[in-house]
Structure 1
Amino acid sequence: MTALLVALGSGVGSVLRYVLGQRFDGTRHTGTLTANTTASLLLGACVGWSLDGSTLAIAGAGFCGGLSTYSSLMVQARDLGGVRGAVYAVATVLLGLGACALGYWGAAQA
């Protein structure tokens, strides 16, 4: 049952990621950046709310896992070239860590 919940959440998250990419990815890759940062924020909130079991499977592993896309991040960083690609990759990781911390903090305060 858990695998089915992860697949269901992942399907929804990956469709949202695709839409963000189609709508906002251009030379700056803001769709991928938005997807990864949002997934990090939501995953931090899932941990802050102490979700577990089926709820964490569908929301955390499923939806957030489907929404985030670090494979696309690496391809886009490579395509941007040395300096711009490195800045983009580092900025994405730092924004993701900050968003995760913010999500955790906000959810733990609730």
Structure 2
Amino acid sequence: MAKRLIPTFNRVLVEKIIPPSKTTAGILLPEKSSKLNSGKVVAVGPGMRDKVGNLIPVGVNEGDTVLLPDYGGTQVKLADKEYHLYMDDDILGTLHD
């Protein structure tokens, strides 16, 4: 049975997108050629409560592609896959085509 992690509060579980290291023709790409620290949101927490008790929802949704900071987050390994757990306010933005 595979485990599923559901983040608490305003945390977001992200699977980082690893850019390809070579093209389909076999040409090796430099490490910094298309380095964009991005990931796909796998799960989100319910949000945080303000001082009055109102729920402030997380700003991203499952399936969103997000821009991540260079450092931070907590590495989590589930079923041989690597994920990262970020606070909602650590995510820099969402990426759209």
Shared fold (TM-score greater than 0.5)?
A: no
Q: TM-score range with shorter-chain normalisation?
A: under 0.3
Could you say which structure has the higher strand fraction? 2
**Which structure has more helix as a fraction of its residues?**
1
Greater relative contact order (CA < 8 Å, ≥ 6 in sequence) = 1
Whichever of the two has the greater Rg, that structure is 2
TM-score using structure 1 length? 0.25
TM-score of the superposed pair, with normalisation by structure 2: 0.27
